[in-house]
Amino acid sequence: MIDVKFAAPSLPQDGALGLLMAEGEGLTGLAAKADEATGGAIARAIAAAEFTGKEGSSVTILAPGANFGRVVVAGLGKMADLTDRKLEEAGGALAVGLARAPAAAIAADALTPGRAALLGYGAVLRSYRFDVYRTKQKPEDLPKLASLSILTEHPETATGSYAPLQAAARGAYLARDLASEPANVLTPAEMARRLGTLTEHGLKVEVLGPEELGKLGFGAMLGVAQGSHNPPRMVILRWDGGKNGEAPLAFIGKGVTFDTGGISIKPAGGMEDMKWDMAGAAAVAGLMTTLALRRARVNAVGLVGLVENMPGGNAQRPGDVVKSHSGQTIEVLNTDAEGRLVLADVLWYAQAKFEPKLMVDLATLTGAIIVGLGHEHAGLFSNDDNLAGRLLEAGLASGEKLWRLPMGPEYDKQLKSDIADMKNITGRPGSSITAAQFLARFVNGKPWAHLDIAGTAWATKDLPTVPKGATAFGVRLLDRFVAASYEG
């Protein structure tokens, strides 16, 4: 992770420099001084590039003078419309432009220290890489940027603002690392082992294996697991930073380390994407890590159900009936609708064991949510308007946007089974909603929200603060949600 530092705003005379420019305002402050130092070369290059400071745009100028190797100017859009999110995105753009320099500075003298910190946050988020399995990388092909100084009037204040952001970035890095691992490496047991190491940040970690899950009556989750040689785990992460005895917030993640579909097997094309099917669990781990790293004044518990959905000789069959931890029976008509089976048991356990204030689950649950919302919003489903509203707000603030979909008895009715309490699939119409209705049967009336992140868990192209690959969607959103609503 890039080392981000904050320093007083004096203009460096050489090296790599990042500048900001608002639309219609030209170069001001340190940026104007840098331009002067280069004899106006920066302004001339900007004009030649027809760069006007539009948000999302940037221009790179090589060797403009005064010993600067590279100057990158990022557009902020209109100053009056500037948001925190746009600053993160500008930080991301500068990190890309400055990546070839081992050390760089960014002039943030026109910003409040809190906003200067957001530049560092965006830069770090955008600079993530997963290089574990590359053995032939040449140094000249790798980014060099290791240290970034952000120049601001109040470096101490900015340093203070940056600390919780860095915690969120570290949580997001963990979630991306976990989600990026291939499924032959990241089995349920291996993921549980890695989550076990989070005790180093002050989390309490408990791991339950198949025997314990059997004793608890996790029939729905174990039905999914039984087709794989890799045994399941449930991991419970606790962060007790709030008042002693106060009910925790509960975050629940779908952790299907690979989803072949089971006997209802998926087509070959694109099946490799199902290594991401544990992204919900990865986000929960990232969130809990963030809360611990920034010593959040809240009690929280994260629970992840880790299984592999395989079509082995002992796999469950379409038509099997399983008994869930709640006691309710489920007719498994499609073994590919496995996420809801895992979550059914973990959700019920979470509410019964921890009596949480609320529960939020994250799951790459349905392909249908991608049809409905594409990759721009995750689906939000909730039995609580207040909770839903606060999540929607945190989504806008963090850039991890949600869109609420309806629920209701008409949808719930479709889960009726001929021989059990419910079946695990419905027809295609509204099938992200009916999946949420299924989950609702396992929350026992507790305030609950379900985030269907199937369309947002990984990116197929580079985004302003997320390189192509695992996004860690949910970490920044829920960190924001917790900070805004529960630490006041």
With binding defined as CB under 5 A, does residue 259 bind Zn ion?
yes
Q: Which stretch binds ligand BES (CB under 6 A): 176-184, 322-330, 335-343, 401-409?
A: 335-343
- Interface map 350-379 toward ligand BES (x if CB under 6 A): --------------xxxxx-----------
Q: Which stretch binds Zn ion (CB under 5 A): 114-122, 245-253, 335-343, 477-485?
A: 335-343
DSSP characters for 137-199? --GGGS----EEEEE-S-HHHHHHHHHHHHHHHHHHHHHHHHHHS-TTT--HHHHHHHHHGGG
Q: Token pair for residue 101?
A: 């320099």
Nearer to Mn ion, 190 or 259 (CB): 259
Q: Cα(first)–Cα(last) distance of the chain, in Å?
A: 30
> d(Cα 274, Cα 311) in Å, to the nearest integer?
14
Taking CB under 5 A as the criterion, the residue among 336, 412, 452, 479 binding Mn ion is: 336
Nearer to Zn ion, 168 or 252 (CB): 252
Q: Which of 54, 144, 193, 266 is catalytic?
A: 266
Nearer to Zn ion, 27 or 363 (CB): 363
Q: How far is the CB of 333 from ligand BES (least distance, A)?
A: 9
Rg (CA), the chain: 24
Which helix (H) or strand (E) covers residue 484, if one does?
A: helix 475-486
Nearer to ligand BES, 2 or 284 (CB): 284
Residue 174 Cα to chain centre, angstroms: 10
In the annotation, is 340 catalytic?
yes
Q: How far is the CB of 338 from Zn ion (least distance, A)?
A: 6
Give the C-alpha distances (Å, rounded to integers) separating 71 from 43, 80, 100, 106, 454. 11, 25, 12, 10, 38
Amino acid at 285: A
> d(Cα 10, Cα 33) in Å, to the nearest integer?
10
With binding defined as CB under 5 A, does residue 361 bind Zn ion?
no
**71-110 positions binding ligand BES, by CB under 6 A:** none
The set of residues, in sequence order, having a beta carbon less than 8 Å from that of 112 and lying 6+ positions away, is none
With binding defined as CB under 5 A, does residue 412 bind Zn ion?
no
Q: How far is the CB of 211 from ligand BES (least distance, A)?
A: 26
The set of residues, in sequence order, having a beta carbon less than 8 Å from that of 310 and lying 6+ positions away, is 227, 228, 229, 230, 258, 260, 262
Checking DSSP bridges between strand 103-107 and strand 147-151, what pairing results, if any?
parallel
Q: How far is the CB of 255 from ligand BES (least distance, A)?
A: 11
Give the C-alpha distances (Å, rounded to integers) separating 66 from 62, 154, 384. 12, 26, 59
Nearer to Zn ion, 64 or 223 (CB): 223
With binding defined as CB under 6 A, does residue 454 bind ligand BES?
yes
367 binding partner (options ligand BES, Mn ion, Zn ion, none; Cβ < 5 to 8 Å by kind): ligand BES
Are 395 and 401 a contacting pair, CB within 8 Å? yes
Amino acid at 254: K
With binding defined as CB under 5 A, does residue 339 bind Zn ion?
yes
With binding defined as CB under 6 A, does residue 337 bind ligand BES?
yes
326 binding partner (options Mn ion, Zn ion, ligand BES, none; Cβ < 5 to 8 Å by kind): none
> d(Cα 14, Cα 189) in Å, to the nearest integer?
50
With binding defined as CB under 6 A, does residue 259 bind ligand BES?
yes
**238-297 positions binding Mn ion, by CB under 5 A:** 259
> d(Cα 300, Cα 306) in Å, to the nearest integer?
19
Long-range contacts of 352-355, Cβ-Cβ distance < 8 Å, separation of 24 or more: 352/444, 354/247, 354/248, 354/250, 354/301, 355/247
407 binding partner (options Mn ion, Zn ion, ligand BES, none; Cβ < 5 to 8 Å by kind): none
Q: Which of 115, 126, 238, 340 is catalytic?
A: 340
Shortest-Cβ-distance residue relative to Mn ion? 336
Taking CB under 6 A as the criterion, the residue among 232, 339, 356, 464 binding ligand BES is: 339
With binding defined as CB under 5 A, does residue 35 bind Mn ion?
no
393 binding partner (options Mn ion, Zn ion, ligand BES, none; Cβ < 5 to 8 Å by kind): none
Q: Which residues bind Mn ion (CB under 5 A)?
A: 259, 336, 338
Q: Which residues bind ligand BES (CB under 6 A)?
A: 259, 273, 277, 334, 336-339, 364-368, 425, 431, 454
Report the catalytic residues.
266, 340
Q: Which residues bind Zn ion (CB under 5 A)?
A: 256, 259, 277, 339
